[in-house]
Amino acid sequence: MGIISWIIFGLIVGVIAKFLMPGSDPGGIILTIILGIVGALVGGFIASSIGWGSITGFNIRSIVIAVLGSIILLVIYRLLRPGPRTPA
């Protein structure tokens, strides 16, 4: 996939992950795109390591793997951020 495809894929995946784990996370659309792109990389690495496959493009399997990676990153981010830990 090209860079534009990764940005669009990251935006879609980041929005899905934020929808599944709502909360008051700062950063707006840029953080959502970064979360999605890095989540796709993390999800692809974990999935290929355990034999589930990898990110291969715009398909359901790749989106599920990327969303799971994004949710993992979102959980880690929320655990490491300073401040109160109350749900929003």
The tens digit of pLDDT for each residue in 4-50 reads 777 777 788 878 887 887 776 666 777 777 777 787 788 878 888 88
Select, from the ranges 8-17, 53-62, 76-85, the one with the highest average predicted confidence (pLDDT).
Answer: 8-17
What is the pLDDT at residue 35?
Answer: 78
pLDDT value at position 55? Answer: 67
Given this model, what pLDDT does residue 61 score? Answer: 81
| Of residues 19, 72, 20, the one with CA closest to residue 45 | 72
Q: How confident is the model at residue 1 (pLDDT cuts 50, 70, 90)?
A: low
Handedness of CA 6, 72, 14, 31 (dihedral sign): negative
Q: How many angstroms separate the CA atoms of 71 and 84, rounded?
A: 20
pLDDT exceeds cutoff 80 at 76:
yes
